[in-house]
Structure 1
Amino acid sequence: MWRSRSHSLELLRMFQVKAVQRWMSTVMSFGDGTHGALGLPSSAVGVGLDAYEPTPIPSLPSDIVSVHAGHYHSLAVTSQGHLWAWGRNNEAQLGPGFSSSRESWNEPKMVVGLENVKVCAAYASGVVSAAVGDDGSVWVWGKSKRGQLGLGKGVTEAVAPAKLEALSGENVAKVSFGWGHALAQTVDGKLFGWGYLADGRIGKMGNQLEESPLDSAAGTVSDLEVAGKRVLQGMEKENDMPTVWEPRLVEELRGVHVIDIACGLDHSLILCRNGALLSCGSDAYGQLGRARPDLGIFPVDISFKPVSIAAGLGHSLAICELDESDSSVGTTNIASWGWNQSSQLGRTGPGNLPSLIDALDGENPVSVSGGRVHSVALTAKGEMWVWGSGKNGRLGLASSVDEFEPILLDTLEGFQILQAVSGFDHNLVLVAG
């Protein structure tokens, strides 16, 4: 039975309070190891930096209860509420005490500066990390000129975890990051947004909606010369970006109870308790899932009942409950839409509107995660399915071959898989024992 994110978070907090030493888990990783996000010593992956099959990370504690993959780095939370990090650190997204030398990025270490915080969840973008405490507080660190830290006007750097004071008094259940924007939902269903706001990716925020000259326009132009000129024009405007520097309530959804959020590179998905699935931001790849990609927060054109959502760079995913007319053998499936250049939708057909993945019919997926150009899912039977780009081993199938539809990752057969998440080009898998 699917449960709301806020309910699951409460269960995790209760677990951490009552955690005992017999809890045992292992984190595995596979995919692109260029930025150290796999956390593997060179001896574990042999020649080269990539891992083509799920490989245990040997230097993490044995009581990891959740993992999160940023774009190029990774985070793991222990049963005691400690946070570990590894991967890219050019923007201080690993926190203080970590070297900026690439040679040490693959070495997991505990994040310094959260000693008085019992961390129950962690989230990340490419340049920023965040931790949610068991009291619902949010702590952020890293560097972002787009206001993604949320620490106040002009604050673009936090080398140590800093509390998001603008969310004080709120009990935050989940945070999601795009490339330059962020959303946070509270246990009582409120939605907050901050960071880069072009294309309405965090709502109107009291400003006139405007298209991003850099993120969206170039993606919809087929002429390369014209697209190049638009990118250059957009770059010239980088110093005058429309930015919300601190979390603000998304006024369009005041009074609407939000139960899940997901940010792609420059779009957002919002799932409401009344069953409505909303989208906003760039629609350069059809990732909004609407026949009319108007600027603003509007419903996705989906005929199924979504119960949880995820977003890759330019594609969107939703676990949907099915009725008898949708499937004769399964109770859930995944709807996908958006960018499909590397088959990350796991299906054929038009990509701009949601459609179910036929290959997963009858498999009853319970969670899904999207990378740059690949996707992964867990099923009710505890199996992991992967599809999309196989470059750098990011599908874990011991090859670089793309998979046009979901395929079972059978090397994990026999493991009790607790969680599977994707960064841009790498994956983390949490297994019991």
Structure 2
Amino acid sequence: MDSSSATALCLHSWGANSYGQLGQGHAEDVAEPRLSDTAALHRTAARQLSGGGGHTVVVTESGEVLVCGQNHKGQLGLGHTTDVSILRLCPHLSQRVTSVSCGWDFTLLLTDCGRVLSCGSNAFGQLGVGESISHSAELLVVERLKEHVLSVAAGLRHSLAVTHSGCVYQWGTGLSSHAKRALSPHPVPVHLSSKVPSLVPGLDHVTPCAVAAGSVHCVCLTGEGHLFLWGSNKHGQLSTTEPFSSSPSLLKSSLMDGERVAHVWSGWTHIVAQTVSGKVFTWGRESYGQLGRKERESAGPLVEGGSQQACHPAEVKVLCGATQIACGSEHNLAIVGGCLFSWGWNEHGMCGDGSQTDVVQPQLISSLRPLLIGCGAGHSMAMCAVKTDSRQNSVADPPVTLEQESEHLADM
């Protein structure tokens, strides 16, 4: 190896940036991938990238947490409520963090010993610490979760967790008003209205292993490769005829060619799932192209709430074999064949194509070769490894061009 070259980790970010959530030291939207200030990483590899309504959280392989962006409710966990426009190390962590999930204005961290930490707004009980605290800029332990937690998910104003023993817990009242309207005159079940973790009923016959959350819906993936869904069905995200489901209902495997599900992700109003064979299916709201199903040439006006067809999972063939997928509120990123794709809502440039026009099918957006991707509600992130010339202390030109990587698309 040439001793004059080395590998550097670079974080690229783009999209909404009103609070400095792109980590670029300013607060202007960016419509194409641009380098963030990654001095705080110290060449440490990132494990996960995540974002909320206006904040960003990076979890490193060493278990540290870096944050930037909106902080008015303390969602950065820095001990204060001042916005930050470059990545800062989250202090006072006595445990290694393994994963993160960001809600609109709150953050959930999962540690290597299975504890859940939360910070930010607690206006809806989404921190899981009861109602006596309105918000917290300090990381709080969700004490009611006594068991080892495997997975956490933050929705708009509610939270989910699945434990080692296969129990799923829910807290935060973000779904309660929808439930009250749909279920009246019957009472709202406890798990939809609790401000501390409450056991979700109806999953005792399966082995839950992961959870995901939308704005007002919930998703549970089981070890058997099945999906259970509950909450609002306004945009067909439950793939049923009921407007609201208070308890988990099984998604028919026939809707995904009878295959087991390996991974699932959720935006605010749509769901993306990948089967064990690598096929990727989408369903739910399609108003911004977030399902990635429509061809540009034939796409007419997108109807609010989506169509009847959008209520059922359909395969997006160009995404088959994706190694990573990330969902924002209404946009998405994917890594396919080492290339970066995006689609969906693009008002703030979060699809990264230099425009603010919604993207209705997955498109190759950059010559970046990402190692890791993540989304906030309206912004996007990609961690890349690039070679540097130590003699000039500069980043070398990317070895692969957009044109070289795009030829295979014509055959998909």
Residue 260 (structure 1) shift:
2.1
Structure 2 unmatched ranges of 5 or more: 1-5, 185-190, 295-306, 387-412
User: In structure 2, do the counterparts of structure 1 residues 188 and 419 end up closer, same or farther at CA, with 3 Å as the change threshold?
Assistant: farther
Superposed CA RMSD: 2.6
Name the CA distance, whole Å, in 2 between partners of 1:67 and 1:377.
13
Residue 191 of structure 1 and its aligned partner are, at CA, apart by: 1.4
Deviation at 1:376, TM superposition (A): 1.4
Please name the residue that 2:285 is paired with.
339
Alpha carbons 2:334, 2:340 under 8 Å: kept = yes
- 2:238 is matched with which residue? 288
Aligned to 2:130: 152
Measure, in 2, the Cα distance between the counterparts of 1:25 and 1:185: 32
2:278 matches 1:315: no
2:199 counterpart of 1:249: yes
Which stretches in structure 1 are left out of the alignment for 5+ residues?
Answer: 1-21, 43-47, 202-208, 218-240, 322-330
Q: Which has the higher helix share?
A: 1
Residues in 1 aligned to 2:345 and 2:34: alpha-carbon distance in whole angstroms: 19
3-state SS of paired residue (2:138): strand
Partner residue in 2 for 1:179: 156
Partner residue in 2 for 1:60? 40
Match of 2:371 among 411, 418, 429: 418
The question of whether the paired residues in 2 share the 8 Å contact of 1:290 and 1:299 is answered with no
- Which residue of 2 is the match for residue 190 of structure 1? 167
Quick check: 1:318–1:368 contact (8 Å CA) kept in 2? no
Q: Distance in 2 between matches of 1:308 and 1:267?
A: 17
CA shift for structure 1 position 188: 4.2
Q: Are residue 300 (structure 1) and residue 251 (structure 2) matched?
A: yes
Instruction: Provide TM-score, normalisation by structure 1.
Output: 0.76
Q: In the alignment, does 2:61 pair up with 1:84?
A: no
Structure 1 pair 65–359 and aligned structure 2 pair: CA distance change class (3 A) = closer
The 3-state SS of whatever aligns with 1:244 is coil
Q: Distance in 1 between matches of 2:136 and 2:79?
A: 13
Number of residues of Structure 1 aligned to a counterpart in Structure 2: 354
Q: Give the letter aligned to residue 342 of structure 1.
A: Y
Counterpart position of 1:230: none
Query: What is the 5 A alignment of 1:82-121?
Result: 82-100=64-82, 104-114=83-93, 116-121=94-99
Q: Deviations over 1:122-142 (max 9, x none)?
A: 221112112211111111111
Matched, 1:393 2:335: no
With normalisation by structure 2, the TM-score equals 0.79
Post-superposition shift, 1:386? 0.8
Question: Which residue matches 1:139?
Answer: 117
Residue 70 of structure 1 corresponds to 52
Note the C-alpha offset of 1:189: 3.1
Q: Given residue 252 of structure 1, which amino acid in structure 2 is its aligned partner?
A: G
Q: Is contact 2:278-2:322 (8 Å) kept?
A: yes
Show CA shifts across 1:81-101 (max 9, x none): 22111111111101234452x
Pick from 260, 264, 276: which aligns with 2:210? 260
User: Aligned partners of 1:418 and 1:189: how far apart in 2?
Assistant: 31
Q: Which amino acid is the alignment partner of residue 292 of structure 2?
A: G
Percent identical among aligned pairs is 25
Report the 3-state secondary structure (helix = DSSP H, G, I; strand = E; otherwise coil) of the residue aligned with 1:210.
helix
- Deviation, structure 1 residue 419: 1.8
2:32·2:354 contact (CA, 8 Å) conserved in 1? yes
Counterpart mapping for 1:201-212 below 5 A: 210-211=180-181
Tell me how far 1:32 sits from its aligned partner.
0.9
